[in-house]
Structure 1
Amino acid sequence: MTRRFVRGALVVLLVGAAAGGGYLLRDRSGRPATAEVGTTKTAAGATIAEALQGSFVGVAEHVRPAVVHVGTIQRAKSRRGPAAPPGAEDPFFRDFFNQFFGTEGPDPRSEFRRPGLGSGVIIDKRGLVLTNYHVVKGADEILIRLSDKREYRGQILGTDPKTDLAVVRFQPDHQLTIAALGNSDALRVGEWAIAIGNPFGLDQTVTVGVISATGRSDVGVATYENFIQTDASINPGNSGGPLLNLKGEVVGINTAIVAAGQGIGFAIPINMVKRVVDQLVDKGKVVRGWIGVGLEPLSPELAQTLGAPGTGGAVVSSTMAGSPAAKAGLQSGDVILAYDRIPVEDYRHMQRLVAETKVGTSVSLELLRKKQKVGVTVTIAELPDEGARRGTGPPPRQ
């Protein structure tokens, strides 16, 4: 329930209490009536709590059928027999994997099967499942298990390691429940957040928390990072599952946790996911923009040296010969302040802005060069295979 809804519910309750109070002012005998103030407040609070509880229950009942278990198997040759996967000695995991994948397998002297598990969410009636790339990376077999325990063989439709996203397809034999995708740009810190997934193989687990922060980068999970942080409980096996708002809309894809911390999880914002998934479904790959510059953060010390008004922006550390940036005249030491009139927050923000721009688009850049503002226009090219590392990827650490 959003804060606005809580306030609205409270206003309605107060209005109702005031109206009821009008009827309680006097009884038929004309004597003043008494009201149990503490009881009234308790009842009002209970009503709000029940409404909030109803929202959680409604989201869980509506979305759980769209959340799937993603099981994987990696096959590898071995002369010494199969290597035990993490947790394989745990009786629960042993029984689970035997049930899910079967106990029969190839000759262990020549091949072993390494199981893995994660979560996913159905986004299309054709049987398209959205999950994390690291869930299906290297998988030789993929099994999709629905909330009703039906199982299907899955096939990778497309992957994007740079955002840790993947789309898996299976052939449904009945009508599927599809998850609605929300708008992650509208999220506010403090909103309720609901995670659904399969932590440690415990299918259809629902946990609740809040949006702790947005725009988290430098997490070290992917090349392009703009994570939502949440304290909704996320554990191994939740990867690829949805993070939801109180409308039951997917606002993020749960991806990572801080191992040493409690209540610190990260989800890929759904607006970033949409741009990636559309290309994976249509093309089987993701095409990104590129200008061919090395970028580094604008520290307070560097900002003072370069005459920048603050630490917002990205510093050009290098330009590649023949790149769009070189052709536009960008120089080492330039501070990029704005991209197509959008203020640049930091180098990772600049990285995402370029990557999300359509190839062939001409974009204006506002620069700070030798303490003077300069404007240039750059034409976006397609990111080469190694472009993320050399052109718009993380800066070298010195």
Structure 2
Amino acid sequence: MKKFLSLLGMAILGGAITLGGYKMLFNDDVVVERTISQPIKTVTASFNPALDKVNSIANSVDLTVAAENTVHAVVHVKNTAIRTQANPMDIFFGNSNGSRKFEQVGTGSGVIISQDGYIVTNNHVIDGASEIEITLNSRQKYKAKLIGTDKENDIALLKIDADIDLPYIPFSNSDNIKIGEWVLAVGNPYNLTSTVTAGIVSAKGRDLEGNTAIDSFIQTDAAVNPGNSGGALVNTRGELVGINTAITSKTGSFIGYSFAVPSNIAKKVIDDLLEFGSVQEAILGVNIDQNDEDIEGVKIAGVSDDGGAQKGGLKSGDVIKKVNDVKISKFSELRGQLTAKRPGDFVNITIDRDGEELVKNVKLSKKDAYVSRKLGVVLKDVSKKDIKKYDIPGGARIVTNQNKNLIYYGVKEGYIITKINKKPILNASDAVKAIDATFGNGSPIYVEVINLDGERERYAFR
């Protein structure tokens, strides 16, 4: 018994010593809990979560000021055109000459850009109109005068005479707008009064036709519908960054993306129309290699003789990376930069030449070649020497001819067009406008030319 009590005491003493040691080494409480289902928790890593940034930006952007500053400066544009429609039954019964005239009405939007009533819209909104009516957001109506148009960039300039100072939207530098930046589209969809939708800039320098060298749009996901054409795309400060022009749609309504002419291009077109009556197109003086799609930039295939590019030191094989401080990744971006410039302007062209980055100062030249896609010809202004030699006020020389009718009749490259529909032609630009206004609409076109032997010839065809 004594021995048993001794062993028991030693066991108790050993346990006490063990427990005391454990307490000394591990002083924290130990809690055992049941494992239960819990929501997944985020773990902070060595970066700031992008989602938090997006939420904070979205919550901090106030679009109400931009909306208030722009909604009254966007107008409703109504155009009325007189159309002629053939009616074979009238001829059969002898009632008339087989045609009747009717009114066709179209609508769109416009942006007031000055207190004295200048309004910019799309060319396709007013194309062919015999009468244009402007309705302000206050419901006041005015007759508008067409100042000028530019079909290639789809811009038209109108003017109304009001007895008040009108609200207007100031221009912004569209080069400064960034992908992901918030924008508002303001217009009159479906004949509604000024309507505002919001979105972000999805892309810049967008070419809708796939590298056709024509387009350089701002792409946005702000909702734009029929009637929005010619309306304003503005930044969060209420400044004009673009003129809403087109949507991609299989239904005719907005399904995700819309496109706007950048404000820099629109402003340059407007300034040209006011100062010169027509657009002054600037060119770099290079031919572009569009076959090498793996290059980020624009590769020069050739340089025109005595052009600004040659004088500025550009060479075949150079890859254009920047115009001034604007990055160039594709041809439509280069096109957009040049469209916003005038002949005679100097630009800094950053190029990659055999891996070396160089900056060349180039003076832009005036465009002297114009394309009539309807007739399939490329025309250039005649020289002063030709004007004196043939005693003509001006003309347009055919430098490329792909028209089967002209080829059939023997009209060759080098012929000079002097008259179209019996009206004198002063330059290539006038010739293209006259051709495209007549050819293809069913009416005959009359062309007077000087052939390679200096003889005058006249042709009529449809």
Determine if the TM-score, normalized by the shorter chain, exceeds 0.5.
yes
Q: Deviations over 1:192-221 (max 9, x none)?
A: 222121112122122222222333234569
Q: Is the 8 A contact 2:178 2:201 kept in 1?
A: yes
Q: What pairs up with 1:55-70 in 2 under 5 angstroms? A: 55-70=62-77
Separation in structure 2 between the aligned mates of residue 138 and residue 79 of structure 1, nearest angstrom: 18
Q: Is the 8 A contact 2:211 2:332 kept in 1?
A: no
SS of the equivalent of 2:333 reads helix
1:64 partner amino acid: V
Aligned position for 1:79: 86
Q: Which residue of 2 aligns with 1:359?
A: 343
Partner of 2:136: 146
- Where 2:202 maps in the other structure, the secondary structure is strand
2:31 counterpart residue number: none
Query: What residue is the counterpart of 2:423 in the other structure?
Result: none
- Provide the secondary structure at the position in 2 that maps to 1:278: helix
For 2:211 and 2:197, the matched residues in 1 are separated by 23
Q: Which residue of 2 aligns with 1:132?
A: 122
The within-5 A match list for 1:42-191 is 55-80=62-87, 110-191=100-181
What residue in structure 1 maps to residue 388 of structure 2? none
Pairwise CA distance, 1:289: 1.4
**Which residue is 1:230 aligned to?**
220
Report deviation, 1:48: 10
**CA 372–162 in structure 1, closer or farther in 2 if over 3 Å, else same:** same
Question: Which residue of 250, 253, 261 maps to 2:240?
Answer: 250
CA displacement at 1:281 relative to structure 2: 2.3
Deviation, structure 1 residue 132: 1.0
Is 1:298–1:313's contact at 8 Å kept on the other side of the alignment? no
The answer to whether structure 1 residue 197 and structure 2 residue 204 are counterparts is no
* 1:313 aligned onto 2:303: no
Corresponding position of 2:261: 268
Aligned to 2:459: none
Counterpart for residue 345 of structure 1: 329
- CA distance, structure 1, for counterparts of residue 309 and residue 371 of structure 2: 13
Distance 2:362 2:100 in 1: 55
Q: CA RMSD in A?
A: 3.8
Higher Cα radius of gyration: 2
Instruction: Give the aligned residue type for 1:314.
Output: V
Q: Who is 2:15 aligned against?
A: none
- Aligned-residue offset at 1:61: 3.3
User: Match of 2:128, SS?
Assistant: coil
Question: Is 1:296–1:347's contact at 8 Å kept on the other side of the alignment?
Answer: no
- Call closer, same or farther: CA 1:336–1:157 in 2, change over 3 Å: same
| Relative contact order, higher structure (CA 8 A, sep 6+) | 1
**What's the TM-score, normalizing by structure 2?**
0.57
The normalised TM-score by structure 1 is 0.65
Letter in 1 for 2:83: A
Q: How many residues align?
A: 309
Amino acid at match of 1:230: T
Shift of 1:312: 2.4
Deviates more, 1:227-236 or 1:186-195: 186-195
Inter-partner Cα distance in structure 1 for 2:166 and 2:281? 32
Which letter maps to 1:193? V
Match of 2:270 among 251, 271, 277: 277
How much does 1:114 deviate? 1.6
Distance 1:233 1:268 in 2: 16
Q: Tell me, which stretches of 5 or more residues in structure 2 are unaligned?
A: 1-55, 89-96, 380-462
1:171 is paired with a residue whose SS is coil
Letter in 2 for 1:72: N
Q: Does the 8 Å CA contact 1:295/1:315 hold for their aligned counterparts?
A: yes
Alpha-carbon distance in 1 for matches of 2:195, 2:211:
24
CA distance in 1, matches of 2:58, 2:306: 62
* Identity rate, percent: 35
What secondary structure, in the 3-state scheme, does the structure 2 residue paired with 1:77 have? strand
Q: Which amino acid aligns with 1:61?
A: E
Between 288-297 and 136-145, report the one with greater CA deviation.
288-297
Tell me the CA shift for residue 121 of structure 1. 1.0
For 2:334, the aligned partner's letter is M
- After superposition, give the CA deviation of every residue in 1:285-323 in whole Å (9 maximum; x if it has no partner): 22121244332336356xxxxxxxxx1232334555665
Deviations 1:157-215 (CA, angstroms, capped at 9, x unpaired): 12122221111111112231112333333323333222121112122122222222333
Deviation at 1:112, TM superposition (A): 1.7
Counterparts of 2:323 and 2:200 in 1: how far apart (Å)? 32
